Chains A and B, each alone.
Chain A
Amino acid sequence: MTGAATETLAAEHGLTKEEFARASAILDRAPNLVELGIFSAMWSEHCSYKSSKTWLKTLPTTGPRIICGPGENAGIVDIGDGEAVVFKIESHNHPSFIEPYQGAATGVGGILRDVFTMGARPVALLDSLRFGSPDHPKTRHLLSGVVAGIGGYGNCIGVPTVGGECGFDPAYNGNILVNAMCVGLARADRIFYSRASGPGNAVVYVGAKTGRDGIHGATMASAEFGGDAGEKRPTVQVGDPFTEKLLLEACLELMAGEAIVAIQDMGAAGLTSSSVEMAGKGGLGIELDLDRVPVREAGMTAYEIMLSESQERMLMILKPGGEDEARRVFEKWQLDFAVIGRVTDSGRLVLKKDGAVAAEIPIAPLVGEAPLYERPYEARAPAAEIDPSSLPERDPVACLSRLLGSPDLSSKRRIWEQYDHLVQGNTVQRPGGDAAVIRVAPSGKALALATDCTPRYCRADPKRGGMQAVAESWRNLSAVGALPLAITNCLNFGNPERPRIMGELVGAVAGMREACLALQYPVVSGNVSLYNETMGEAVLPTPVIGGVGLLADAARAIDLGLKREGDALILVGETKGHLGASIYLREIEDRRDGAPPPVDLAAEKRNGDFVRGQILAGRVAACHDLSDGGLLVALAEMAMAGMRGARLEAATGDLPAHAFWFGEDQARYLVETAEPESLLAAAHAAQVPARRIGTVEGAALTLFGRNAISVSALKATNEAWLAHYMAQG
């Protein structure tokens, strides 16, 4: 073995003095360089969740339909008929800022592998993107690179990108967020896990070769790397969707047989985390001969092989006698296949290179004694509520145009038309609505999918913001008629060593917990991305929620486009005119203050269950949840989607007009129906606030018979901003 590592070298690997001492105690000696690399990877924030685990454990993760919660590659939910939906969201923020195309592309590649490694065929991708100010010199380049990277990977591999969100804020100038979600389908009795078993079983490496790309994102002294700085590769990995497509088809083909005991993709920390996690879950040991690992270049060291994050690779444990079958399948798909080791009963990770032992670590303490921090946190003083009557009166139609033409509310068509959202032939509802709807052929069921977060709410009040993100996700799925099943989350925050940031994380998780419990909407998988911070400037707290819902019949799904002249428009939920932390306040009054809207979870549940019930009863022609921009923006979006107008005759009551039209009160929906009397009667019976506010009519939006604007003019405004912005690139 190579010489013992020092505390200084450990610090360069991101290990604290205490962590280094703990690693030395586990080994009963100082670790060598390879072992140090393994400890630092396994105990990194990314792999160990050492700052967030205490809080993540408070989230509800179980339910009658849940087959597998957090801890595996992805979460799994039973959708009946022997079918299961497998899904997860993951961040690729730091690499995407450094190299937007490859960073985003490999983010997609990684999340796809998390899903198909469990035996599921990926059927949909979504994303959640946050960029800095549009005026920032880097933003356009980052936006176009990220979008091209997501498209480049997803389009090639043939998984439709069906939904997502994209927002802008100066807080992301130095750290963009790129979160990708993948959803797959599997037979509930054919799911593959990562737990190793059977000492003596072969450990098999498949997929692409291992190169020097992506080695150890952490800061690294060049002297310890092997001397030649010219040998360094960027820490961003390079994706090859073509190889991933072959890997996907080969894995699913092999999974139809009985050869596999366990399988795990090589994601963050590559061969290290996959081998350690597989053995650790099985309470076993693993012995690898690193000379057998297929490599892209000669002379790679044990350190480089163990820490490479080359893409499109998998590690499998095979049953005795399964090797021939596996080799045949992978050779058919022209992929590398190598038996690189055996499962052992020693409980130790033993790595051999050039005939000598390069590293030896007991696995149980490596996994089980990872550091766990209860970092100090401070809650923020709650922002003051804003009295809407303190704001000036303005022309609502002019304000509407401004909002629809603003970066956050502008149409994102230019983005999603660069993604193949139709491949596989099951896209019932395309991007642009509340939730995408994907048919589950041949049963005729459908999945509803959405990603959501309102970071400005989370900044103003992390707990309310966390709660609202879950509630909006639940509402978006309900608005298409789906029963929300479960979520995956991606928690994007700044540096957790700062109590203010830790307070944002703690608050957001507390809010999510309450909402998940009240809405029976558990968390089945997720990812935490911390240190999204540059020179002390953190991103807005952005706990993104990826929601999955179920429709028994795809044909019952409802979209948001207005459908029929003369239909009634019914506003469901209570309107109080809440403008704190709203889009209106920011875009029209140039103010970012105020408390976000309170979230009444009982009202959310009651109103959402009511709307879903009415959709399934066939009374609803179109439906849209009310969120950013409130009632008038929601109505405009319905009008633009259906290219029909509406006449609004609702009284604003005691509220100032701007609060009525643009307030962001939660638990609300706008519904088009041909049967207003029966729908209103049903609402009354269910104690759900509902009132008729207008009628589908003509080709313009008309407010109280005076302020009118044509729907085509609104649409032109809504489509213009992003098209213009991206064309300047």
Chain B
Amino acid sequence: MKAGIVVFPGSNRERDLAAAFQRATGQKPIFLWHGDSEIPDLDLIALPGGFAYGDYLRCGAMAAHSPVMREIRVRAAAGVPILGVCNGFQVLTEAGILPGALLPNRSLAFHCHDVRLRVENSQTIFTCGYEAGGVIRVPVAHHDGNYTADAETLDRLEDKGLVAFRYCDEAGGLSEDANFNGSARSIAGIFNDSRNVLGLMPHPENATDPLLGGTDGCAFFEGLVGALQ
């Protein structure tokens, strides 16, 4: 499987993501430079966490207009799997590839800790390693992860099964406390209509090693790689 990870100036979790892919595939993904307007044929393109262009103006706003994003918009429309994690999710919403926006957390503070996620739809290439309704533990590390969209969009996401993950408690229940950043309907990650694009705030790539406090992210990468091979 050929995966590419976009590096924007200010990306900082591209190596974390590369290590998770390498663990799942045995192959190193290639890095794509933000200024490249042409990119090779790839089975998957990932947008990593970080602070692209310093997140100045708004998170992901400037990155959404970088040369590489023009090509990514074309690939997304052509059905190439695109994964955006954290800042990558913010870039995808700013680019209009995914609906909604990510506002500052309810606390107005950065949050770095483990959270529980409920898998809402396991019938996709990204989530086929999980059971629907299953609860996984992965970390978050963001200041702007408060997912927001208008009611119509939220209804559509729910009706069409486009909600990928929700913040929940250990038993899978939804609550104000578990929804620590204040996201609409506890949404932690969403698909596009054809489910070849996923954006999520949490970091499954940081939960792929028993030594580092968790392996619930392994099934994410193994499932994805399995589906694409």
Residues of A at the B interface (CB closer than 8 Å) are 148, 151-152, 155-158, 240-243, 245-246, 333-334, 416-428, 430, 439, 441, 554-555
Given known A425-B205, A555-B211, contact A418–B10 (CB-CB < 8 A): no
Min CB distance B160 to A, Å, is 33
Chain B neighbourhood of A425, CB < 8 A: 15-16, 19-20, 205-206, 209, 212
Contact across chains for B212 and A428 when beta carbons are under 8 A apart: yes
Instruction: State A61–B34 Cα separation when bound (angstroms).
Output: 45
Chain A neighbourhood of B141, CB < 8 A: 155, 420, 422-423
Chain B neighbourhood of A245, CB < 8 A: 9-10, 12, 51
Contact across chains for B203 and A422 when beta carbons are under 8 A apart: yes
**Partner of A423 from B13, B55, B209 at Cβ < 8 Å:** B13
Contact across chains for B112 and A418 when beta carbons are under 8 A apart: yes
A-B CB contact pairs (8 Å), 9 listed: A148-B109, A240-B54, A242-B54, A243-B54, A334-B9, A422-B112, A423-B12, A423-B13, A423-B141
Given known A155-B110, A555-B211, contact A422–B50 (CB-CB < 8 A): no
Min CB distance A220 to B, Å, is 32
Nearest B residue to A429 via CB reads: B213
Min CB distance B143 to A, Å, is 7
**Partner of B112 from A419, A424, A426, A428 at Cβ < 8 Å:** A419
Instruction: State A157–B143 Cα separation when bound (angstroms).
Output: 14
Contact across chains for B110 and A420 when beta carbons are under 8 A apart: yes
Instruction: State A416–B203 Cα separation when bound (angstroms).
Output: 18
Chain B neighbourhood of A334, CB < 8 A: 9
A156-B12, A156-B54, A422-B112 known, 17 other contacts, Cβ within 8 Å: A148-B109, A155-B110, A158-B13, A241-B51, A242-B51, A245-B9, A245-B51, A333-B9, A416-B112, A418-B110, A418-B112, A419-B110, A422-B203, A423-B206, A425-B212, A427-B212, A430-B213
Min CB distance B8 to A, Å, is 10
Contact across chains for B139 and A418 when beta carbons are under 8 A apart: no
**Partner of A246 from B9, B16, B49 at Cβ < 8 Å:** B9
Residues of B at the A interface (CB closer than 8 Å) are 9-10, 12-13, 15-16, 19-20, 49-51, 53-56, 109-113, 139, 141, 143, 203, 205-206, 209, 211-213
**Partner of A422 from B10, B19, B54, B139 at Cβ < 8 Å:** B139
Instruction: State A424–B15 Cα separation when bound (angstroms).
Output: 7
Contact across chains for B19 and A417 when beta carbons are under 8 A apart: no
Chain B neighbourhood of A156, CB < 8 A: 10, 12, 51, 54-55
Chain B neighbourhood of A424, CB < 8 A: 15-16
Chain A neighbourhood of B49, CB < 8 A: 423
Min CB distance B107 to A, Å, is 9
Instruction: State A187–B27 Cα separation when bound (angstroms).
Output: 24
Min CB distance A105 to B, Å, is 13
Min CB distance B218 to A, Å, is 13
Instruction: State A157–B109 Cα separation when bound (angstroms).
Output: 17
Instruction: State A157–B10 Cα separation when bound (angstroms).
Output: 7
Contact across chains for A242 and B53 when beta carbons are under 8 A apart: yes
Chain B neighbourhood of A428, CB < 8 A: 211-212
Nearest B residue to A249 via CB reads: B9
Chain A neighbourhood of B54, CB < 8 A: 156, 240-243
Contact across chains for B211 and A554 when beta carbons are under 8 A apart: yes
Instruction: State A423–B113 Cα separation when bound (angstroms).
Output: 12
Nearest A residue to B112 via CB reads: A420
Contact across chains for A158 and B12 when beta carbons are under 8 A apart: yes
Min CB distance A724 to B, Å, is 14
Min CB distance B183 to A, Å, is 18
Nearest B residue to A159 via CB reads: B12
Instruction: State A555–B209 Cα separation when bound (angstroms).
Output: 11
Min CB distance A85 to B, Å, is 19
Min CB distance B31 to A, Å, is 12
Min CB distance B9 to A, Å, is 6
Chain B neighbourhood of A419, CB < 8 A: 110, 112
Contact across chains for A157 and B12 when beta carbons are under 8 A apart: yes
Min CB distance A100 to B, Å, is 15
Min CB distance A716 to B, Å, is 14
Chain A neighbourhood of B19, CB < 8 A: 425, 441
Chain A neighbourhood of B51, CB < 8 A: 155-156, 158, 241-242, 245
Nearest A residue to B17 via CB reads: A425
Q: Which 5 A-B pairs have the closest CB atoms?
A: A158-B12, A242-B54, A425-B16, A420-B141, A156-B51
Nearest A residue to B51 via CB reads: A156
Min CB distance A97 to B, Å, is 22
Chain B neighbourhood of A241, CB < 8 A: 51, 54
Instruction: State A333–B11 Cα separation when bound (angstroms).
Output: 13
